[in-house]
Structure 1
């Protein structure tokens, strides 16, 4: 993770800022090398050139992910798309990052695309991946994927149009639609783009024609009439918004000066509040929602936190203040002050389920302070942060005073967990288990203090050879790596509330495929995210 702010002109070029950030790459980079289930040669399939190219498109090459080109194996396209559609946001950030990595990975199209499911080249898996990214609020990533397909492709233009609206970049997609009207996903989209291109008369005429032939439902027609400021055929009646609200309806409501609040809407709409024109509070809350699911990197959130001093207290402002005090303490290289600032900052992040993002972002800085190395101030752009650091001269036990063990527990959620664990000498039994798990050591299950610990420790036990009569075990043996990742994400989607049996099975599946680092991180999260420390 970056320890100092990089000048804008020094940043590497990238398709999107999300991929430029180191913490995004760290969270998605698989530390394990590509894995294989056997020593046999990969299955070979043939198809016409270009017939399955769309389903193979990705943003993350194998050099970053460590995932093999045969990620999806010979999975049937219909089964794979159904499995992707079932995915939910995983409450464990390490598994959510693995799921995102699979959705963004460059990989061969499913081999079965040639012989089963939708017609070859249909791109059903590609569209399912894009749709899921949009649902997760990963709009920049979805946009970058869509940029790699034919911009006039009818099958994907609807998704590209929605994404451009959510990112407030619709001019280019509207220009495409004007050149090729047949790709318009709806008549409403065509009318909107006619207006955006300045052809209001044609837009109004198209609206009236659509009304006359019944091509527009009454509410959509009325909403567009307000947008075009045409004569209202039903004076006084307000249009009812479609449910769920579409990106087009969302943008039209903003255009007629009736913007919709995004905090109760799907994650994808939160990107609207990340713009510079949004208020600081709205930017913070949107960044918190999107960081929580891994849609934007933690670096962006904490840069927004550092933008200025809070002018109020309570709620979001208390979180900003607590983090700014910690930033100032780290910048001053004052271990005791860092220790004193840590509990409030940690409590603030726990209140909004951002513990892992916090640990990954601040972990390197905290660890360097603990190790005695000075770090650069974290405030971007030289922003002014609090100058007074409470408790800076207060003596205490341990490197960070009485909160040294709290710092170690937080660091167990960071990318430095294994390195830190080697230096930790905890006194509490639960802390010793955390240290052991971070180092890849697993005590016997009978030493577990609770059901979750037992489920985690059982996952490291030698697996019993599956019975040929066990359909579930037989199916698991034939799952592709991609299917396995999707299955693990479903098993662990509820996080610390997951069924213990599902926890054991999911961790075993990760280890079976050599994804030991993810299994360790998930184990630590299962214990620490439910801890009240």
Structure 2
């Protein structure tokens, strides 16, 4: 466990800075954990030597990395160096991450997750130990990657109150709250507000104790009227059965969501931040809710295509329209492909593709089925569609070898997949931007950043240039592709280029 005395010392030294807004913040956090008050330094007494205190020595485990360096993906997995962030300052990275987080093109979103989960040395000038970890966790939560954020916090250890708050809220969304509630008993330094403490007591079946704590909180005036009403109804719903339902908060927290769920007044998650979709993946949610949550998360890259397929395949659709039609279309295609029935594949491939396009799931669909489609010889437009799907999969190079370069788009698809440019540049603006991106070098400014070792910063700046996805400015597209290639992210450059060509504009 990390040296808490060192943490408090850093907190003291940061002075007023620690009271300012953190590098990152999320509006919907539950505010269940309070930062402990910082005790004033002990006065100097005669006999102290130069202010040195002989306090008890604390031992730090050597088998755990510093929290800001923690990650789920080792350098050997990502191919990124441990110095990914160390040449940049934390404030700059915070700003760049916010911009890069708006880029929703699947290839750059996948790269963003890799950066956030990479094990690497932290940047310079971190105000407080754990701040850079908190920054990355907050970005993951904003993107909807709750399970990834939860796993990262588990790896690093949520040592600060702010990190524990995020671990607690992530657990509320994924259904792992019992483990975090148990942690509260083992972490006396964590000051828990009454709503979270009451919720955890009830989760463990200690309803009488929870009611006593609620009475204490009411007597002390430590609850808002809204918190009091919600917790009272949570602990004794029968008493308030005849009352009008409570109004939903405009921006509910994970704890408020779970309290409303417990009293039978479950909120719809569609209007809420993407992270809330994870509550609908729990077994207590109905299949329709699970399907819609899986679609929303998979479209953002926060849920793997294999888990999406597992939820799609759980049973037969119960009705028609909307998500039920998408389930039916995918199931029919999946069955046809697994049986290698060419006629059935040709009947079902386009309806399935169009169904996935309705919810921006073309790339997950392609990752699932693209390689297999290369092994089936279809006819005419059906074969063209199969090739297009395969180009959006990991088998894009193999798919490109089968393309007959009739048009400039065909030629640039081959170029994007193989890295070999045609002799003549295309005229169309987006295609020309891709062509230029595979030819030009980064600007002098970016070359200097690369030379200085600010690799993570350069990659974030490249991602930010694609914040408008398929509608990104052609010059920005060219610069982003040139940057990816300059730092060795050739595969990212190719998949970005293919997606820019094949995915529709907004």
TM-score, with structure 1 as normaliser: 0.77
Check if 1:280 corresponds to 2:287: yes
Closer, same or farther: CA 337–449 of 1 in aligned 2, 3 Å: farther
1:435 equivalent to 2:414? Answer: yes
Q: After alignment, is 159-168 or 322-331 more displaced?
A: 322-331
Q: Hey, what's the Cα distance between the residues in 2 that align with 1:400 and 1:306?
A: 28
CA deviations 1:213-271 (Å, max 9, x no partner) are: 332222122111111128989x9475444442100000000100101111221111111
Q: Which string of whole-angstrom CA distances, capped at 9 and with x for unpartnered residues, describes residues 329-385 of structure 1?
A: 212212343233211111111111111111111112111224xxxxxxxxxxxxxxx
Aligned residue-pair number: 446
Report the Cα offset of residue 488 of structure 1. 2.1
C-alpha spacing 1:248/1:422, structure 2 compared with 1 (3 Å): same
Any idea what the Cα deviations from partners look like across 1:180-229, whole Å, max 9, x if unmatched? 35414533212222222333333233323333433222212211111112
Match of 1:413 in 2: 392
What displacement does 1:418 show? 0.8
Q: Which of 453, 456, 470 is the equivalent residue of 2:431?
A: 453
The corresponding residue for 1:229 is 236
**Alpha-carbon distance in structure 2 between the residues aligned to 1:339 and 1:301:** 23
- Aligned match for 1:97, one of 82, 105, 110: 110
Contact 2:470 2:504 in 1 (8 A): yes
Bigger mean CA offset, 333-342 vs 292-301: 333-342
- Corresponding residue for 1:342? 349
Q: 2:494 aligns with which of 479, 497, 520?
A: 520
- Give the Cα–Cα distance (whole angstroms) in 2 for the partners of residues 212 and 241 of structure 1: 25
Q: 1:465 to 1:88 in 2, by over 3 A?
A: closer
Match for 1:84 among 97, 106, 109? 97
Relative to structure 1, is the Cα distance of residues 449 and 323 closer, same or farther in structure 2, using a 3 angstrom cutoff?
Answer: farther
Distance in structure 1 (CA, Å) of the matches to 2:310 and 2:238: 47
Matches within 5 A, 1:150-189: 150=157, 153-189=160-196
Contact 1:139 1:167 in 2 (8 A): yes
Deviation, structure 1 residue 451: 1.6
Gaps of 5+ in 2: 1-59
**Could you say if the C-alpha distance between residues 310 and 502 of structure 1 is closer, same or farther in structure 2, counting changes exceeding 3 Å?**
same
Cα 1:173–1:506, aligned 2, differ >3 Å: closer, same or farther?
same
Asked whether 1:213 is paired with 2:220, we answer yes
Tell me the equivalent position of 2:127.
118
Closer, same or farther: CA 216–182 of 1 in aligned 2, 3 Å = farther
- Rounded Cα–Cα distance in structure 2 between residues aligned with 1:214 and 1:491: 50
> 64-73 vs 143-152, which deviates more?
143-152
For 2:350 and 2:496, locate their aligned partners in 1 and report how far apart those are by CA, in whole Å: 23
Instruction: Indicate if the aligned counterparts of 1:52 and 1:109 stay in contact, CA closer than 8 A.
Output: no
Number of the residue aligned with 1:395: none
Q: Is the 8 A contact 2:106 2:300 kept in 1?
A: yes
SS for the counterpart of 2:156 is coil
CA RMSD of aligned residues (A): 2.7
Q: How far apart, CA to CA, are the structure 1 residues paired with 2:337 and 2:322?
A: 23
In structure 2, distance between residues paired with 1:303 and 1:409:
24
Aligned match of 1:507: 481
1:198 aligns with 2:214: no
Q: 1:242 to 1:59 in 2, by over 3 A?
A: same
CA distance in 1, matches of 2:442, 2:118: 32
Cα distance change, pair 420–287 in 1 and its aligned pair in 2 (3 A) = same
- 2:381 aligned with 1:402, yes or no? yes
For the Cα contact (< 8 Å) 2:108–2:492, is it kept in 1? Answer: yes
Instruction: Provide the residue aligned with 1:127 in structure 2.
Output: 134
Identify the residue that residue 29 of structure 1 maps to in structure 2.
none
Q: Distance in 2 between matches of 1:192 and 1:203?
A: 8
Counterpart for residue 20 of structure 1: none
Moved more, 314-323 or 85-94: 85-94
Aligned counterparts, 1:346-385, within 5 A? 346-370=353-377
Residues 447, 270 of structure 1: CA spacing in aligned structure 2 closer, same or farther, 3 A cutoff? same
Which residue number in structure 2 is paired with residue 486 of structure 1? 460
Cα distance in structure 1, aligned partners of 2:157 and 2:367 = 37
Task: Tell me, in whole angstroms, the C-alpha distance in 1 between the residues paired with 2:419 and 2:84.
Answer: 26
Q: For structure 1, which runs of at least 5 residues remain unmatched after alignment?
A: 1-47, 371-398
- Equivalent residues in 2 for 1:242-253 (5 A)? 242-253=249-260
Distance 1:456 1:82, change over 3 A: same
Instruction: Name the SS for the 1:368 alignment partner.
Output: coil
1:463 aligns with 2:441: yes
Q: CA deviation at 1:414?
A: 0.7
> Contact 1:291 / 1:298 at 8 angstroms: preserved in 2?
yes
